[in-house]
Amino acid sequence: MTADSAVETLSYPAPDVVRDLVERAIARGAMVTLFGPCTVEYEGRAASSLGPGDRHVTLKPDGAALVHTDEGQQPVNWQPPGCDHSVAVADGALVVRSERTTPEEELEITFETVAHAAAFDVSDPEELAVTGTEADLKERVLDAPDLVESGFTPLATERETPAGAVDVYGEDAAGRTVVVELKRRRVGPDAVGQLDRYVEALRRDLHADTEVRGILVAPSVTDRARQLLAEKGLEFVSLEPP
Amino acid sequence: MTADSAVETLSYPAPDVVRDLVERAIARGAMVTLFGPCTVEYEGRAASSLGPGDRHVTLKPDGAALVHTDEGQQPVNWQPPGCDHSVAVADGALVVRSERTTPEEELEITFETVAHAAAFDVSDPEELAVTGTEADLKERVLDAPDLVESGFTPLATERETPAGAVDVYGEDAAGRTVVVELKRRRVGPDAVGQLDRYVEALRRDLHADTEVRGILVAPSVTDRARQLLAEKGLEFVSLEPP
DNA sequence: GGGTGTATTTCGCCG
DNA sequence: CGGCGAAGTACACCC
């Protein structure tokens, strides 16, 4: 992370020269990038084929692989962390392969030419600190339960039910059981379904005479979600992460 | 996409030299990559802070920005396509900013040092061809409806209901309405909820005497999903994409 | 631009 | 390892 970070680069190198650079880089745990005209084949959970074009390829020391075009935030092809990267020269082309098992997946990138190759020694001790998440919204609710409803008392978080864990479990001023489902942003029908599953599971699980209320806490809901809430007899409280 | 792809690179350049390279590259629609020790601040839909460390930064001509560490398939920070990239020198550091509106979002990367900078002219005329998707599974069902059930007749795809569009809508050998929800891979409780919403919506919408069956078509289901299917009186057929 | 659903989602947590 | 749900999810499609 200091100015002595080792960087090795090549411009329009011969295939065997790139191969050696990449092999050495992988061996020492460096990050590799390649750029140039290539084709990409993938087979695994699905299958894909990408004809010739210029792409930017990243091989990470944790085994992840990324193929980026000039468009989009997402890579056009990729491989998750934990893969084995290998590189070879075949018919004058550089072939990069990244494979894994469980599930069996393989990515193969064939460079007609490598326009640029680089190896970076990376040191990154820092963790990303994010705020505005659902966890922050939960803290806000636990710190001030009245934001949900006057008299609401949280009793547990992540309380287990046969349908999964409830975000916040508690009771209202009248002693009725309350299930709170938190969402950090505007929600659609899926979140209502989720809350409903928890409420139904608790109604089954608790004694038949126990009343169970379900409250969706989010900044806002879509029309369809609001209608679903009404149909299911569930409630909504508008609240956002701090 | 040929060997004459223009690539411009710099090793440990002075900040103002990188700034000029980046500005020229952005102006001509090239892709930019930077590597070196930096900090990253984000504020928008959420907010995040990342302390000093080595990262690889990509600025795409469509306005996307990516910040990658040595780990993970996902960027540690990013900006979606459509953002405005700008670069400046402040206190001897290179500051890269990427911003957009609706929603208001800003990403700021401050390089203590730039170890490597590159600009790539990208030409990529090809589209990715993927197989094994839900669309392929749908075709398989439409080509051979008996795979769902002997006597099943598809009548429409993407049929609209008050709860959203049904994947495949049809009728069984007895003339009963059938709603088919397709999933390309093993499914959990959420898919059952989705199917149930469609079935319930159609039961409301059609005449009260119309029987509506719901069939989940996927390679497999989890235990909880299977239980939910039973509770809701829905069915499951095992089928995978070709 | 918002709503809805898919994705080779990825990722983290937990049993 | 699989199940489950969150994510600044991204992305496509339709209104």
Among B120, B154, B172, the domain boundary falls at B120
pLDDT at A207 over 90: no
Per-residue confidence (pLDDT) for residue B112, from 0 to 100: 95
Q: What is the mean pLDDT of chain A?
A: 95
Q: Over range A112-118, report the average pLDDT.
A: 97
Confidence of residue B25 (pLDDT cuts 50, 70, 90): very high
Q: What tokens does A51 get?
A: 């004809």
Specify the pLDDT at position A31: 98
Q: What are the tens digits of pLDDT across the range A26-51?
A: 999 999 999 999 999 999 999 999 99
Instruction: Work out the pLDDT band at A5, boundaries 50, 70, 90.
Output: low
Residue A2 lies in a domain: no
Whether CB of A164 is under 7 Å from strand C: the answer is no
Partner residues linked to B215 by β-bridges:
B180, B235
Q: Which of B120, B154, B175 is the last residue of a domain?
A: B120
Please check whether residue B238 is in contact with residue B219, taking contact to mean a CB–CB distance below 8 angstroms.
Answer: yes
The first and second tokens of residue B132, run together, are 């094994």
Q: Which residues touch strand D (CB under 7 A)?
A: A 72-74, 102, 130, 132-135, 163-165, 167, 181-185, 194, 197; B 42, 44-46, 48, 64, 77-81, 105, 107, 186, 188-190, 222-225
Per-residue pLDDT band for A160 (boundaries 50, 70, 90) equals very high
Taking contacts as CB-CB distances below 8 angstroms, the residues of chain A near B130 are 46-48
CATH number of the domain within which A148 lies: 3.40.1350.10
pLDDT digits (tens, 9 = 90+) for B174-191: 999 999 999 999 999 999
**What pLDDT sits at residue B5?**
53
Q: For residues B125 and B83, give the distance between their C-alpha atoms in angstroms, rounded to a whole number.
A: 23
Residue A1: per-residue pLDDT: 45
Which tens digit of pLDDT belongs to each residue from A45-65? 999 999 999 999 999 999 999
In a domain, B97, yes or no: yes
Which pLDDT band, with edges at 50, 70 and 90, does B1 fall under?
Answer: very low
Residues of A in contact with B68 (CB under 8 A): 58, 60, 66
Of B120, B155, B183, the one marking the end of a domain is B120
Within a domain: A171: yes
DSSP chain B: --TT--EEEEES--HHHHHHHHHHHHHTT-EEEEEEEEEEEEESSSEEEEEEEEEEEEE-TTS-EEEE-SS-SS-SEEE-TTPEEEEEEETTEEEEEEEETTTTEEEEEEES--SEEEEE-----PPPEEESSHHHHHHHHHH-GGGT-TT-EEEEEEEEETTEEEEEEEE-TT--EEEEEE-SS-B-HHHHHHHHHHHHHHHHHS-TT--EEEEEEES-B-HHHHHHHHHHT-EEEE----
Q: Are residue B138 and residue B116 in the same domain, yes or no?
A: no
Q: Are residues B43 and B96 in the same domain?
A: yes
Q: Which domain covers residue A212, as residue numbers?
A: 134-238
Cβ burial B47-56 (10 Å sphere, 16+ → b, else e): bbebebbbbb
Instruction: Say if CB A162 and CB A177 are below 8 A apart.
Output: no
Q: What is the pLDDT of residues B69-105, one digit of tens each?
A: 999 999 999 999 999 999 999 999 999 999 999 999 9
Task: Quote the number of domains for chain A.
Answer: 2
In a domain, residue B90? The reply is yes
The answer to whether the beta carbons of residues B181 and B191 sit under 8 Å apart is: yes
Asked whether the predicted pLDDT for residue B2 surpasses 50, the reply is no
pLDDT at A102 over 90: yes
Shared domain for B93 and B180, answered yes or no, is no
